[in-house]
Amino acid sequence: MAVKIRLKRMGAKKAPFYRLVAADASAPRDGKSIAELGYYNPIKNPPIVSINEEQVFQWLRHGAIPSDTARSLLRNHGVLQRWDAL
């Protein structure tokens, strides 16, 4: 079972809110996820990002692969730099 770290869309129409989740690679975007790792709210000014770094590190240790957008969020929040330093 390949695991990906990706965004799961939540919220109302025209008011997106995303959860950063670990999910099976074959699961649909808004389908069942294994673990919730944080959230991202692009509507607020400035956008709100909250990430549980310990859980992200745990999933990266187990071989989870972040999607392009999730990788960008993790890089901008400094999580990937701390991961590379370990």
Confidence (pLDDT) at 52: 94
Q: How confident is the model at residue 86 (pLDDT cuts 50, 70, 90)?
A: confident
Residue 14 predicted with pLDDT over 80: yes
Tokens 């919220």 locate to: 11
CA 58 – CA 19 distance, rounded (Å)? 17
pLDDT digits (tens, 9 = 90+) for 15-67: 999 999 999 999 888 888 999 999 999 999 999 999 999 999 999 999 999 99
Residue 1 predicted with pLDDT over 80: no
Confidence (pLDDT) at 69: 94
Alpha helices in 1-86 (DSSP H): 53-61, 68-77, 79-85
Return phi, psi of residue 41, to 5°. Answer: -120, 100
Confidence (pLDDT) at 30: 81
Residue 85 predicted with pLDDT over 90: no
